[in-house]
Structure 1
Amino acid sequence: MKVVVFMVVTFLMVGCQSGNKKQNNTGEAPPQIVLSEETLNISGMHCDMCVASIEKGVNEVEGVQFVKANLDDSTAVVRFDKNKTNLNEISRAVEKRGYSVIQMQ
């Protein structure tokens, strides 16, 4: 009986895992990621909730891989895939949260 249960569980685990694999049948290579890291100067940050709000808003932009806002110097470092987004979209995400991007470096 234990052997039958073991076989059924093993079959289910293998069957479930094979469904998670995506296959690329087109023969094309997946698009390359082109990373860029930029520092944004942001006006209007005055507390830790501001930092959290900016980080949350920027993280919601498709292609953003990392964001870290800094209250001390009113900046945010953003790492993103240039194939999926750009600084204008990231700036709009900051502005939707009620802050302004002063200068993009």
Structure 2
Amino acid sequence: MSGDFERELTKRVWSDDGFAAQVESDPVAALGSMGVEVPAGVKVKIVVQRRDRVYFTIPPARTPNAPPPTAPLNQMDLWSSQGLFIWLVPVAAKFKLLALRNAARTGGDQP
């Protein structure tokens, strides 16, 4: 892997139709085939954008059956990778995402 996880993932989706289908149906296995181990407790959803669709990602405001939050909502971070790849990640999972990205850059070896 070149060290640019997002670029490698995008390139593979664009060039391999079977892999493109797998990233949406079984993203953990798809990432595993690239040598990336998803940290325990992390659920991954990869969305391959379609030219004829608009996507909305609504951050969770509360847990099910909980009262509405009283504090301002600031639960998501938006990260961009060279204008090509966007990460939307709950703040609580930020360090797990960093571990996943680091594993991709180091070939799966954790520091």
Greater strand content: 1
Q: What is the TM-score when the length of structure 1 is the normalising length?
A: 0.30
CA radius of gyration, larger in: 1
